[in-house]
Structure 1
Amino acid sequence: MPVPPPDHVLAAFGVPAAIPELLEGGQQQTWRCADTVLKPTADTAEAAWIARTFETLRVDLLRLARPVRSSDGRWVVSGWTAQKFVVGRAAARYEDILAAGDRLHAALTDEPRPRFLAQRDDLYSWADRLAWGEIEDVDQRIGTGHAAKLYDEWAGGRRPVTLKSQIVHGDLFGNVLFAGSAAPAIVDITPYWRPPAFAAAIVVVDAVSWGGAGDELVESCMERHEFGEMLRRALLFRLGVSLAHPRSTAESMVEVMSAAQMLRPYLGE
């Protein structure tokens, strides 16, 4: 059962008395109260870095969910963070999502690598490192079934890449919001240290897996340098998450596997 932010957290962030509204997405942990959105964080260092970075970041033709400080200047209060609510809804505007990601990443080019990334050990960070061949599946999370064998096959086809890594938003699909003619809004920043083309490849994999996208979207991205290798790693990332996530469903696995088969000709083999 989702647990709303406690009263003392609302008070610390200056939120007026109101009944918090559980928002869609956000892993069923994100709440809106008036014009403020609150969500719990398991990593105070990451949450503080996101808040500091996006407090003043300006990106042309983008709206960003601005962080909110508590009354005593903190970014995190009792494990909760806050940001301003931005109007918009997710939509199947995949070219616009990719363009929004490109603009964000261009603005983040000179950001140094934060230390917390090396220490992060959640499932998604594990799947990211596994997809890039930086670790092995020493704890056997991916198992030994058909999908795991395909994972090993696709991983064996990886080739070195020359693309430069930087801070990227690794979960743009569903986190770019649209509202009429307003500029797109980007929310729920999930930072990784990877090439921007990898973040774009994750959008493509997600759009094919769950958004009904087809070859046209993939082909529009293939002019990006080394995009086939980025697609391969993005597929490995999503497949790794699906294989290891405790709440994965058979349906979700089928969707990712179907996307992998459709994308296979583009993997740069």
Structure 2
Amino acid sequence: MPAHVAAAFQADDRQPAVPLGAAWDNGWRLGTVALSRAVGPHTTWSARVRERVEVDGLRVVRPVRATDGRFLAAGWRASQFVEGEPGARVDETAAAALRLEAALVAGLDDGLPLPESDPEDVFCAADRAAWSTHEPRVLAGVEDGLHRDLLLKLRAAMGPLAGPAVPCHADMLATTVYAPGNPPALTDLVGVMHPRGYTAAQVIVDGLLAGAVDAGVIARFRHVPDLHQLLVRAAAYRVWVHVLLSRPEPAASAALAEVVDLLLSRPGGTL
């Protein structure tokens, strides 16, 4: 941990930095401050929103500003550290996702900013591809037979979606931590603009991919409007992330295929 970064965020570096996991973007803890590299277009937006938004039943981790008042310093960012670990509590996280979206929508009237995108960012590119209506152009660069087949299946299942695009979170399951006796805590936001319910749908798909929840979770959240269509796009997003990161992982590919088959096994996605 560079000393000038710790000083910029007034973090206590008298003790060795403690490595943190993926929920904290694989950063480091110094005292009460969690620091990580500022990577991707969402970092500043996340800080601005987390500084202000309030969500019922969810602890939102607040950002720490540098001494000059900015959210970033020398390519790093900081947040207040809270205790907790990621958990296989997919239903609880999906329910919190619905409340988060409601708070983000309400916050727009109070001046909360909209998410930003970056044409060079892999995750932004995966998100655009998953929602693109230009099938031939989007799929042209996919050479892997399995992933191309999965994307074609998902594309065929896509139908219209009702409702306007609202601020959503594309990685809530990975950025929610749990501690005994406390509500879940949200460590970060990866902002995207999609119809309401997408955050919960992405949580469900990610939980299924991780083997952290049973297939009945789809029925338990069937009250979410257009849930099946949102799940199809959430699965397409994860396939595209896998393709664009260029990291062949047979286990991940097998999990993607299994979840896609599950989602498409029944009309309307009911189980």
Q: Same fold (TM over 0.5)?
A: yes
1:222-233 equivalences under 5 Å are 222-233=222-233
Question: Displacement of 1:32 after TM fit?
Answer: 1.0
1:92-241 equivalences under 5 Å are 92-110=88-106, 111=108, 114=114, 116-117=116-117, 119-134=118-133, 136=135, 137-138=137-138, 140-241=140-241
Q: Distance in 2 between matches of 1:135 and 1:22?
A: 42
Which ranges in structure 2 are unaligned for 5 or more consecutive residues?
Answer: none
Q: Distance in 2 between matches of 1:156 and 1:260?
A: 12
Question: Displacement of 1:11 after TM fit?
Answer: 0.5
- Could you list the structure 1 runs, at least 4 aligned residues long, displaced by more than 4 angstroms after superposition: 134-141
Question: Displacement of 1:222 after TM fit?
Answer: 1.8
1:69 alignment counterpart: 65
Structure 1 50/35 Cα, relative in aligned 2: closer, same or farther at 3 Å?
A: same
Q: Percent identity at matched positions? A: 27
Q: Number of aligned pairs?
A: 263
Question: Displacement of 1:75 after TM fit?
Answer: 0.8
Task: Return the TM-score normalized by structure 1.
Answer: 0.89
1:38 alignment counterpart: 35
Task: Return the TM-score normalized by structure 2.
Answer: 0.88
1:22 alignment counterpart: 19
1:254 alignment counterpart: 254
Higher mean C-alpha deviation, range 153-162 or range 178-187 = 153-162
Deviations 1:231-260 (A, max 9, x none): 111111111112222224111111111111
Structure 1 90/27 Cα, relative in aligned 2: closer, same or farther at 3 Å?
A: closer
CA RMSD for the aligned pairs? Answer: 2.2
Checking the alignment, whether the CA contact within 8 Å between 1:232 and 1:267 is kept in structure 2 is no
**Higher RCO, 1 vs 2 (CA within 8 Å, ≥6 residues apart):** 2
Higher mean C-alpha deviation, range 165-174 or range 24-33 = 24-33
Give the 3-state SS of the residue equivalent to 2:34 in structure 1: strand
Structure 1 80/135 Cα, relative in aligned 2: closer, same or farther at 3 Å?
A: farther
Structure 1 139/234 Cα, relative in aligned 2: closer, same or farther at 3 Å?
A: closer
Checking the alignment, whether the CA contact within 8 Å between 1:90 and 1:175 is kept in structure 2 is yes
Structure 1 238/37 Cα, relative in aligned 2: closer, same or farther at 3 Å?
A: same
Give the 3-state SS of the residue equivalent to 2:79 in structure 1: strand
Which ranges in structure 1 are unaligned for 5 or more consecutive residues?
Answer: none
Q: Distance in 2 between matches of 1:202 and 1:22?
A: 27
Quick one: which amino acid aligns to residue 166 of structure 1? V
Quick one: which amino acid aligns to residue 106 of structure 1? A
Checking the alignment, whether the CA contact within 8 Å between 1:229 and 1:267 is kept in structure 2 is no
